[in-house]
C-alpha cells in the first residue's frame, strides 16, 4: 500500500495548520507545503500591525520556521515556489520556482 500524498498550496497560518492536521490524522502520509514566499507559518492578518508599527518586528508573526516542519513534523516545505497547474487525474503538479531576493 502506498502512502497518501497531500499537497497544501499556501504556507501561511491556515496552510501550515492544514498540513499539520493532515499529518496528525495520517502520520504515514507524505505531506508537502508549497509556498510562493520564503517565509511560512505567519499570521498574515497581523501585517497591518507591522506596517503601522504596533508590532515592531515581522518575526513576531512567525509561528514556526520552515525547517521545523521537516525536523519536527516530517512535512516538506517548498518555498519561493508556486504550483502553476494541478493535474488531479495524474495527481501531479507543475512547480514554478520563483526567485525571491
Tens digits of residue pLDDT in 32-50? 999 888 888 777 788 888 8
Assign 97 to helix, strand or coil. strand
C-alpha cell at 5: 500524498
Closest CA to 36 of 86, 4, 68, 83: 83
Name 31's bridge partners. 6
Assign 67 to helix, strand or coil. helix
Report whether pLDDT(8) > 90.
yes
Report whether pLDDT(1) > 70.
no
From the candidates 14, 25, 45, 96, give the one annotated as an active-site residue.
45
pTM: 0.76
- Radius of gyration of the chain from Cα atoms? 15
Q: How far apart are alpha carbons 57 and 61 in whole angstroms?
A: 8
Is residue 45 among the annotated active site residues? Answer: yes
Report whether pLDDT(61) > 70.
yes
What is the model's pLDDT at position 71?
93
Mean of all residue pLDDT scores within the chain: 84
Residue 41: count other Cβ atoms within 10 Å of its Cβ.
23
Q: Where are the alpha helices (DSSP H) in 9-62?
A: 13-25, 47-52
**Domains of the chain in sequence order:** 5-97 (3.50.50.60)
Quickly state the pLDDT bin for 96 (edges 50, 70, 90).
Answer: low
Amino acid at each position: 500500500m502506498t502512502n497518501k500524498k497531500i499537497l497544501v498550496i499556501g504556507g501561511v497560518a491556515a496552510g501550515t495548520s492544514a498540513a499539520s492536521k493532515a499529518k496528525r490524522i495520517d502520520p504515514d502520509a507524505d505531506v508537502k507545503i508549497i509556498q510562493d514566499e520564503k517565509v511560512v507559518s505567519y499570521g498574515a492578518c497581523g501585517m497591518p500591525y507591522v506596517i503601522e508599527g504596533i508590532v515592531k518586528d515581522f518575526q513576531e508573526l512567525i509561528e514556526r520556521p520552515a525547517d521545523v516542519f521537516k525536523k519536527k513534523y516530517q512535512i516538506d516545505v517548498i518555498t519561493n515556489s508556486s504550483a502553476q497547474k494541478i493535474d488531479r487525474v495524474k495527481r501531479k503538479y507543475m512547480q514554478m520556482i520563483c526567485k525571491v531576493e
